[in-house]
Amino acid sequence: MSTQTKRIAINFGGGYVPGLNAVITGAVLAANEIGWEVVGIRDGFDGLLFPDGYPDAGLVPLDREMVEHLAGASGSVLGTAARSDPFHVRTVNPENMVEEVDRSDELLQTLHSHKIDAVISVVGPGALSILWRLSRKGLKTVAVPKSVENDMAATSLSFGFDSALSFATETIDRARQAAESARTIGIIEVPGERTGWLALQSGMAVCADAILIPEIRYDLHKVAARLREKAKAGRSYALVVAAEGAAPVNGQAAPAAGRPPVDSLRASLSPGASGDEGAHVIERSGHVAERVALELQRLTNHETYPLVLGQLVRGGPPTAADRQLGLSYGAAAVRALQDNQSGVMVSFQPPDLKFMPLLETINKVRTVPADSVFVQVARALGISLGN
């Protein structure tokens, strides 16, 4: 055991994901057991970079009593920070111009002055590289992977995914009733900029008629043919589940920029994409649902309606499975530090929790393989995958 590390910090990068609080609980309980203190940094690294903005100067002492009730609580006691990057901090310079400043050195000094020996960061795919760069500068750090899309290749399961799947499934069930009651074709868009896990698994759970994912280019003529077939057999409604990043066979994924104001408003229904990072791709959301709804209405001559679940599946309380995973990740991160590891990410490789060098985790996307059991089962159930 390291005798140097005595006081560690925890923070959240990226947007909200169900189960954030459980990671805190896991880390604090595990740290307390070995006599360490834990403090939370508010809003990513903002609590340290802008302490004046906080009544508590941006740091929250975390003790057993405080965290014991947190594991199942929704929300985030430390805030979140989709845009907090200490290497690129937006500042107003003396000439009154906005510029980006690298405050990473200052951040490390501030951590040092607070006698914080190491930082556990709960991050999505986007913030991993920030953490890695801080790590290269000498910060002791352990990453915990979160993603409602389950798109990080370095772990078989990111926490937040099971909760997102659970709420998406429940909500699409409601959309099915609406579609059935109104005899329309419902097009439901769920998070998944780069991967289709959430669309595929929720779509299968509700026995959708078609599921469109980024990994398989879709041809709506084929989907429409399938729907017409079912309509002939008596079905008066249909349900299509699409990932944000689904794209047509002859075309591109939904556009990301240059849209008129109304659209950008609407699109922001879903404040994030690619797991949890979000802000930068906020403009994309909603486009797939609309595009598919328009074209399918044209092809089937049947009324369609689009529904975008983006933001809703990123909120809410964690499922039992995510509570467990969050607690385990938090405890494992402490163990990594105890074992003097740094610059690693906790990775679930069933049935074990392991540690992967951060560099090996960056920009590795966990896509749906063409021969995935979910793909096979979906096809066996007669669900069109758009091709």
Binding to a second copy in span 323-352, by CB under 8 A: 323-324, 327-328, 331-332, 334-335, 350-352
Is residue 50 part of the contact set for a second copy (CB under 8 A)?
Answer: no
CA distance 235 to 233: 6
Instruction: Give dist(CA 372, CA 24) in Å, integer.
Output: 33
* Strands 98-101, 89-92: pairing kind: antiparallel
What's the rounded Cα separation, in Å, for the pair 220 and 384? 10
CA dist 226 and 314 (Å) reads 32
Per-residue x/- marks for a second copy, 89-128, CB under 8 A?
A: ----------------------------------------
Q: Which of residues 170-229 bind a second copy (CB under 8 A)?
A: 170-171, 173-178, 180-182, 184, 201-202, 204-207
Residues 359-378, one symbol each (x = binds a second copy by CB under 8 A, - = not), give -------------xxx--x-
**How many positions of this chain bind a second copy (CB under 8 A)?**
94
User: Near a second copy by CB under 8 A, which window of 98-106, 124-132, 244-252, 287-295?
Assistant: 287-295
The reply to whether 297 sits near a second copy by the rule CB under 8 A is yes
**Does 381 help bind a second copy (rule: CB under 8 A)?**
yes
Task: Specify the residue, 108 or 378, whose C-beta has the smaller distance to a second copy.
Answer: 378
> Does residue number 153 form part of the binding site for a second copy (CB under 8 A)?
no
Residues 5, 147, 166, 274: which binds a second copy (CB under 8 A)? 166
State how far the Cα of 243 lies from the Cα of 56, in Å rounded to an integer: 40
* Pairing relationship of beta strands 185-190 and 304-308 according to DSSP bridges: parallel
386 counts as binding a second copy under rule CB under 8 A: no
Least Å distance between CB 108 and a second copy? Answer: 26
- The residues, any chain, with a CB within 8 Å of residue 322's CB and separated by 6 or more, are 18, 19, 22, 159, 160, 161, 162, 163
Query: Smallest distance, Å, CB 91 to a second copy?
Result: 18
The gap from C-alpha 197 to its chain's centroid, in whole angstroms, comes to: 12
- 121: Cβ contacts below 8 Å, ≥ 6 apart: 10, 11, 12, 13, 127, 131, 141, 142, 143, 144
**Which member of 106, 114, 226, 316 binds a second copy (CB under 8 A)?**
316
Residue 102 CB, nearest approach to a second copy (Å): 23
Closest CA to 72 of 11, 120, 26: 26
State which residue, 46 or 117, has the beta carbon closest to a second copy.
46
Sketch the per residue contact string, 245 through 264, with a second copy: x for CB under 8 A, - otherwise. ----------------xx--
**Which residues, in sequence order, are CB contacts of 49 under 8 Å at separation 6+?**
84, 86, 89, 103, 106, 107, 110
